Amino acid sequence: MNDDMIPILPEERLTFECSSASPCFNECCRDLNQFLTPYDIIRLKNNLKLKSSEFLRKFTSMHKGPGTGLPVITFKPDPDSGHACPFVTKQGCSVYADRPASCRMYPLARAITRSRDTGEITEYFAIIEEPHCKGFEAQKDQTVKQWIDTQDVKIYNEMNDKLMEIISLKNMTRPGNLVGAEEDNFYLACYDIDSFRDKIFNNDLLSGLSIPDFVLDKIKEDDIALLDLGFEWVRYFLFGKDMKFDQ
């Protein structure tokens, strides 16, 4: 969490509401430096009925994470629009049903710790207070947990936590940038998911690895299963970890 964020517990009350009636409507969708997670990209590219490669080419830029050395995806900067989200309209978000996790969580930030002994995840939350946001002036009152439950963010957090496990493992064991084809493979498996699928079935990308038939059958249509396989493959080629598969 950043120093300028205010920690808050799941049981604490949060007075906040965001709607088209708010005087700041759409302001949080401007002046953005919006990071996209692998699962964000799956939801957005499917909403737009685009292949992942087309979505990435049209809407995003790739950077290296300063702390991790891993590829990081953001929306392309657009100074002419005031660095607005490419999907914001006067009526609001045009991809609202599949908006990114950070949009769903706002005005909360979420961080996690994972027990080394049990693997159990502990969540921490903080309030992001920005001058433009008038949502805190609303009368709607709920606990932090109740607010989160209304945002349909559970699957986002589950998938993002798997990515965070990879990032944590890399920070502990392999500081610095990726080398050679490692960066390309990480980008392929985590972000360009449709090309990953194509290379598995048409270019024998994972030949020599023991991938169960039920996994191969499932990833033909299921993007979440494909991303899970991508995470396992990243753990294998970066850290030598055995690939694990749930039936």
Q: Which pLDDT score, from 0 to 100, does residue 21 have?
A: 85
Give me the residues paired with residue 92 across strands: 89
pLDDT above 70 covers what percent of the chain?
A: 98
Mean pLDDT of 210-214: 95
Confidence of residue 154 (pLDDT cuts 50, 70, 90): very high
**Which is it for the CA torsion 80, 20, 102, 196, positive or negative?**
negative
Q: Is residue 3 pLDDT above 60, yes or no?
A: no
Q: Which pLDDT score, from 0 to 100, does residue 77 have?
A: 87
Q: Which pLDDT score, from 0 to 100, does residue 4 have?
A: 66
Q: What residues contact residue 173 under an 8 Å CB cut-off, 6+ apart?
A: 239
Cα gap 224→155, rounded to integer Å = 10
Give the distance between the most distant pair of CA atoms in the chain.
Answer: 59
Cα gap 219→5, rounded to integer Å = 39
C-alpha to C-alpha distances, 14 to 55, 108, 168, 206, nearest whole angstrom: 35, 10, 30, 47
Range list of β-strands (E), the chain: 6-8, 13-15, 35-36, 60-64, 71-75, 88-89, 92-93, 108-114, 121-127, 141-143
Mean pLDDT of 160-181: 93
Q: Which pLDDT score, from 0 to 100, does residue 105 have?
A: 95
Confidence of residue 1 (pLDDT cuts 50, 70, 90): low
Confidence of residue 117 (pLDDT cuts 50, 70, 90): confident
Cα gap 91→101, rounded to integer Å = 20
Mean pLDDT of the chain: 93
Q: Which pLDDT score, from 0 to 100, does residue 124 have?
A: 95
Q: Is residue 2 pLDDT above 60, yes or no?
A: no
